[in-house]
Amino acid sequence: MTKIIGLTGGIGSGKTTIANHFMEANIPVYIADDEARKITQSPEIIEEIKKTFGDSIFDDAILNREKLSQIVFSSPEKLKLLNAIIHPAVKKHFQDWVLNHKNAPFVIYEAAILFESGSYKNCDLIITVTAPLETRIQRVIQRDKTTRELVLRRINAQWSDDQRVSKSDFIIENVDPKTAKAEIDKILKILNI
C-alpha cells in the first residue's frame, strides 16, 4: 500500500521549494493549498462560503480571497468555519488522488496546516520544514506583496515550529538550498528510494 508522507511547515518556511525537490525525484506530490484554491471555485463551496461569510467578500460574484483572508486570520472562530467548509472537500479529493498513485511506494501530502486540520493522522511519516522567523516573514512579504502585520497574523494562526517539530519524523531547515537538498537526499535514502 502507498505510504503517505506529510510535508508541513509554517507559512514562508519554503514547503513548496522542498515539495518541488521531491517532484524532481519523481515522487508524486499533492499540494493541499493549491488544490483547496481550485476546490474553493466549485459552485457548492462558493455557495457555502457565501452563506457563512456573506456577500461582502465577493466582487461581482467572484470570491475576493484577500477580503476572506483578512476575516479568517483575524478570528480563530471564523478560520474554523472556513476550514470546516474546505477541509472535507480537500480530504475527499486527496483520497481520490492517492488511488491514482497507488503504484507509488509513497506520496507526499504537502499542507501548511497538516496538524491543525488533523490530516497528520492519515500520514505514515511527517517532514517539517523550518526557517528562522524573520526569513519566513520576508519571504511572505515578498511573495504575497503584503504587510508584516498580516504575515504575523497568519503565522500566529498556525502551530509553532516547536509544536510541529515535536510530532515530526524528519526536519528540514530550509535556509541554504544546498543543505536543504542534502536533507531531502538523506530522507530519500532512509525511505529506500
**All domains of the chain in start order, with CATH:** 3-188 (3.40.50.300)
Give the span between the Cα atoms of 141 and 149, in whole angstroms.
Answer: 10
Q: Quick check: 144 pLDDT over 60?
A: yes
17 labeled part of a ligand binding site: yes
Q: Is pLDDT of 65 > 60?
A: yes
Model pTM score: 0.88
Mean pLDDT to the nearest integer, 87-116 = 94
Residue 192 predicted with pLDDT over 90: no
Residue 63 pLDDT level (bands cut at 50, 70, 90) = very high
Q: Is 38 annotated as a binding residue?
A: no
Tell whether 12 is in a known binding site.
yes
Q: Quick one: average pLDDT of 55-59?
A: 93
Q: How confident is the model at residue 146 (pLDDT cuts 50, 70, 90)?
A: very high
**10 assigned ligand-binding residue:** no
Strands 58-59 and 62-63, how do they pair? antiparallel
Contact 109, 94 (CB under 8 A): yes
Residue type, 139: R
CA distance 1 to 42: 31
* Beta bridge partner(s), residue 62: 59
16 is in an annotated binding site: yes
Contacts for 14 with CB less than 8 Å, ≥ 6 apart? 129, 131, 139, 174, 180
Q: Give the per-residue pLDDT at 193.
A: 56
Q: 71: which 3 cell numbers? A: 476575516
Q: In angstroms, rounded to a whole number, what is the distance separating the alpha carbons of residues 91 and 77?
A: 21
Arithmetic mean of pLDDT over the chain: 94
Residue 147 assigned as binding residue: no
> pLDDT > 70: what percent of the chain?
99
pLDDT band at residue 30, thresholds of 50, 70 and 90?
very high
